[in-house]
Amino acid sequence: ARLSVRDALGAPGASGERVKVQGWVRSIRSQKDVLFLHVNDGSSLESLQVVAESSLHSRELAFGSSVEVQGQLVKSPSKRQNVELKAEKIEVIGNCDAKAFPIKYKERHPLEYLRQYPHLRCRTNALGSILRIRSEATAATHSFFKENGFVHIHTPIITSNDCEGAGELFQVEPSSKIKVPKENFFSVPAFLTVSGQLHLEVMSGAFTRVFTFGPTFRAENSQSRRHLAEFYMVEAEISFVENLQDVMQVMEELFKAVTMTVLSNCPEDVELCHKYIAPGHKDILEHMLKNKFLIISYTEAVEILEQASQNFTFTPKWGTDLQTEHEKYLVKHCGSVPVFVTDYPLAIKPFYMRHNEGGPPHTVAAVDLLVPGVGELFGGSLREERYHVLEQRLDRLGLKDDYQWFLDLRQFGSVPHGGFGMGFERYLQCILGVDNIKDVIPFPRFTHSCLL
């Protein structure tokens, strides 16, 4: 039977079962009459030890080569694993020129070095662990929403609207190679989506609780360690909410539930990150998980920042957006517990956010969740569900014609509703302590870089 390395390692010790294991050689050590190999197939961080007679050694059998090993699973004398594979046959499927291979045996390459090789870095322990965790967190996200009665919606990738109104759009046009129609394929300008929110709002008007989890695109001219041109966003939209607390509660539950699942399903992978990539991050994460997230208003946040304004390049001021340095300061100030910042100035937020009663100064029921090391992880809000208030806002922004359909939602059975979006890569950075966002996505896209 063909077994994955993971299943082989989990097999009961002395079963003597005849199996076939395929993978890549992670280490090779030959003694007088014995040959030891470690074979990894990506199913687990741990590799399977293969023991063979030295006569099975061949010139092609080298670090990095792909192999198929047939033999018997036996109890291992070593304390490090239960099981090893006693090889009867080792076939090299594809050899590997170790000299030319950018990944070197026994070396712990810096993540920055590995970034040059998006096609090969997945063969390292570090990227292996991060990407397995990413896969697990994806599944856990879907489970969380399913268990909480949310319907999954595939929102479109190509859209004619700019949800965030920030103009950070990639335009979509057919390549000049296609015959018809050359220009104006969609008859309107079309873009890659920056957020599935508006489409989710449509769906929350029928399914009550909905979510989407897909790629989003932003043409931000940024080389920062927390921005990508293509990133994944987890977005939820909930009808019949009473206040912003209802939305914040789901945000906190999502964060904690997904993280607990990841911790229990891939402990070795998380340990690798917390040991080698971000030493000390285990405590930071535990602190986040065991404490209730804090809540402060934007106005309070600005007051805190003004007290400490000598620390910043940008002077904090009511009415302007918080900068990364401000976000970091606030999180520290709050004891390195994630903190919700609520009720931002209306003037700096997108058109769809719900206008708070009272004022001036005018604020909206917006909420950002700031977390240690990363800053903004979630953005969310109550949505303006009142027809006339929204109509006036759109009118003032010159958007009324484009968003008639959005106004319709407020005319045909409108409900108070709200939602949020969580940057999935920033989430992974936050739980693993990975400094650069480019290391938590398989193929990062950013300014001046679209490798592969």
Residue ranges in contact with Mg ion by CB under 5 A? 379
User: Least Å distance between CB 302 and ligand 4AD?
Assistant: 19
Segment lying near ligand 4AD (by CB under 6 A), choices 41-49, 57-65, 135-143, 417-425: 417-425
User: Least Å distance between CB 379 and Mg ion?
Assistant: 3
Lay out the site mask for ligand 4AD across 119-158 (x = CB under 6 A, - = otherwise): ----------------------------------------
Nearest residue to 364 via CA among 319, 404, 324:
319
User: Least Å distance between CB 378 and Mg ion?
Assistant: 8
Pick 70 or 324: Cβ nearer ligand 4AD: 324
Alpha helices in 19-177 (DSSP H): 111-114, 125-147
Pick 71 or 421: Cβ nearer ligand 4AD: 421
Residue 290's alpha-carbon distances to 169, 172, 426, in angstroms, are: 39, 45, 20
Pick 123 or 226: Cβ nearer ligand 4AD: 226
252 binds ligand 4AD (CB under 6 A): no
Binding to ligand 4AD (CB under 6 A): which residues in 253-312? none
Pick 44 or 161: Cβ nearer Mg ion: 161
Nearest residue to 296 via CA among 327, 323, 255, 259:
327
Q: Is 441:449 a contact under the CB 8 Å cutoff?
A: no
Residue 27's φ and ψ, nearest 5 degrees, are -160, 155
User: Least Å distance between CB 27 and ligand 4AD?
Assistant: 36
User: Least Å distance between CB 207 and ligand 4AD?
Assistant: 15
Pick 17 or 230: Cβ nearer ligand 4AD: 230
Pick 231 or 344: Cβ nearer ligand 4AD: 231
Name the residue with tokens 């921005």: 227
What whole-number distance in Å separates Cα of residue 374 and Cα of residue 226? Answer: 7
What whole-number distance in Å separates Cα of residue 253 and Cα of residue 246? Answer: 11
What whole-number distance in Å separates Cα of residue 44 and Cα of residue 413? Answer: 50
423 binds ligand 4AD (CB under 6 A): yes
User: DSSP of 260-287, one letter per residue?
Assistant: HHHHHH-HHHHHHIIIIISTTHHHHHHH
Beta strands 151-152 and 230-239, pairing class: unpaired
Among 197, 204, 363, 429, binds ligand 4AD (CB under 6 A): 197
41 binds ligand 4AD (CB under 6 A): no
349 binds ligand 4AD (CB under 6 A): no
- CA triple 135-285-304, angle to 5 deg: 120
Helix axis angle for 424-432 and 125-147, nearest 10°, is 120
Provide the binding-site residues for ligand 4AD, judged by CB under 6 A: 163-164, 195, 197, 218, 220, 227-228, 231, 233, 235, 376-380, 419-421, 423, 425-426
